[in-house]
Amino acid sequence: MLLDVNAIQKILPHRYPFLLIDGIEEMERWKRIVGIKNVTINEGYFQGHFPGKPIMPGVLIIESMAQTGGLLLLQEVPDREKKLLYFVAIDGARFRRPVVPGDQLRLEMHVLAWRNGFCKLQGRATVQDEMAAEATLMCKMVDLETENAPAAEPAGKAR
């Protein structure tokens, strides 16, 4: 394992219960990364998704992919503690098999483009070499300080 969960938390801003990667197995700067998510029955979302038939929600599989890709990108940013990555688009998302407790997700992300704070990543999530999900993710890097600025006063009620 290249990075364990403690090293991951030094790079990503996510924390329990929303940190959805447990380790990094492979990494090529600016090119690709492989992360691992160990899916366990004690994940909170399994209480309601679905009782008696626990399945990891597809949106959380996509989020796991995004966090893996985000770690690769943030690794290269010198002032990463002052940055956030926001989703701007998800294209071609396909879900091929359910992900259930006991599965280990292998999250492989490839950088397709990275310029002017925008990034496009191609991702695949597999379980024992079987495709679970795939998608193309686009994100934008923003300054945390700018994003924490006080919100404008709410507009008056519509008449």
| Residues assigned a catalytic role | 49
SS3 track for 44-88:
HHHHCCCCCCCCCCHHHHHHHHHHHHHHHHHCCCCCHHHEEEEEE
Q: How far apart are CA 34 and CA 139, in angstroms?
A: 18
Q: Evaluate whether 41 touches 53 at the Cβ level (below 8 Å).
A: no
Strand order across the 32-38 sheet: 23-28, 32-38, 104-115, 118-127, 130-143, 83-95
Instruction: Give the list of residues 6+ apart from residue 43 with CB closer than 8 angstroms, or none.
Output: 17, 56, 101
Contact 103, 125 (CB under 8 A): no
